[in-house]
């Protein structure tokens, strides 16, 4: 049996230093690999959520708000983990009612059991045009479906949060954001996020 490394009977300080450096390099490589694995999908691509209607951090066009038609913006995603069995989408505003003194998070959209085969939601998505099998939760107005931004004061941030789950949740009844989040606890294998902003008056 061939030995790649033979430890001398009486190791010198130089030998000790060389072994310590080698172990540090190996440990660092393992850590980097684990970190990359936590942020990347099995295909090596980042899990991302985008919209053709607005860029990340930019203003959401008024047609998707209460000052326009109030329809849902188009969304698309890629790089989901291989273990994904379904997706959950939650859209909320943590700046309500005033970004300077926020007191609550207002929920604009809750979807769950979006099939793993889905990669997008069309502009103006409704119950009839959602991917087959998708279930709707209730928003802050206690209704299913999308409710557009309608900030009473100031510029608010709107978080479109897509979660990849290793299971389907099944029918949760009249589920709101809290109920969906409780059901998906322990099943999230990936998370992608898109943030848009809006202030009334076309500002």
CA 25 to chain centre: 33
Claim to verify: residue 36 and residue 121 sit in the same structural domain: no
What CATH number is given to the structural domain containing 176?
A: 3.90.280.10
CA 50 to chain centre: 11
Domain that holds residue 137: 48-198
pLDDT in the model for residue 7: 46
Task: Determine the Cα–Cα distance for residues 142 and 108; give it in Å rounded to an integer.
Answer: 10
Claim to verify: residue 82 and residue 107 sit in the same structural domain: yes
Domain count, the chain: 2
Claim to verify: residue 33 and residue 52 sit in the same structural domain: no
Question: Is the dihedral angle over the CA atoms 36, 39, 44, 45 positive or is it negative?
Answer: negative
Q: Report yes or no on 3 lying in a domain.
A: no
Claim to verify: residue 84 and residue 122 sit in the same structural domain: yes
Claim to verify: residue 58 and residue 17 sit in the same structural domain: no
pLDDT in the model for residue 98: 96
Task: Determine the Cα–Cα distance for residues 20 and 25; give it in Å rounded to an integer.
Answer: 9
Task: Determine the Cα–Cα distance for residues 158 and 195; give it in Å rounded to an integer.
Answer: 6
Q: The tokens 């900030």 sit on which residue?
A: 151
Residue 110, phi then psi, degrees to nearest 5: -135, 120
Q: Report yes or no on 7 lying in a domain.
A: no
Choose among 97, 104, 105, 62: nearest CA to 196: 62
Residues of the chain with pLDDT under 70: 1-44, 202-203
Bridge partner list, 198: 156
pLDDT in the model for residue 185: 97
Claim to verify: residue 77 and residue 34 sit in the same structural domain: no
Q: Tell me if 186 sits within 8 A of 80, measured CB to CB.
A: no
pLDDT in the model for residue 174: 86
Task: Determine the Cα–Cα distance for residues 153 and 100; give it in Å rounded to an integer.
Answer: 9
- What tokens appear for 33 in the block? 């690999």
Task: Work out the angle at residue 115's Cα, subtended by the Cα atoms of residues 182 and 131, and round it to the nearest 5 degrees.
Answer: 115
- What tokens appear for 128 in the block? 């009839």
- What tokens appear for 73 in the block? 């913006």
């Amino acid at each position: 049996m061939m030995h790649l490394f033979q430890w001398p009977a009486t190791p010198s300080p130089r030998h000790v230093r060389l072994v310590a450096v080698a172990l540090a390099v190996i440990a660092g490589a393992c850590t980097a690999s684990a970190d990359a694995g936590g942020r990347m999908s099995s295909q090596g691509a980042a899990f991302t959520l985008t919209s053709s209607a607005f860029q990340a951090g930019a203003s959401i066009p008024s047609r998707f708000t209460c000052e326009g038609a109030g329809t849902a913006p188009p969304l698309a995603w890629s790089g989901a983990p291989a273990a994904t069995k379904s997706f959950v989408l939650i859209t909320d505003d943590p700046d309500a009612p005033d970004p300077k003194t926020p007191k609550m998070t207002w929920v604009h959209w809750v979807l769950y059991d979006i099939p793993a085969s889905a990669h997008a939601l069309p502009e103006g998505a409704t119950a009839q045009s959602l991917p087959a099998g998708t279930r709707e939760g209730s928003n802050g107005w206690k209704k299913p479906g999308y409710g557009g931004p309608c900030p009473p004061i100031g510029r608010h941030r709107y978080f479109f949060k897509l979660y990849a789950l290793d299971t389907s949740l099944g029918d949760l009844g009249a589920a709101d954001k809290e109920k969906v989040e409780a059901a998906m606890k322990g099943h999230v294998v990936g998370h992608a996020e898109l943030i848009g902003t809006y202030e009334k008056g076309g500002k």
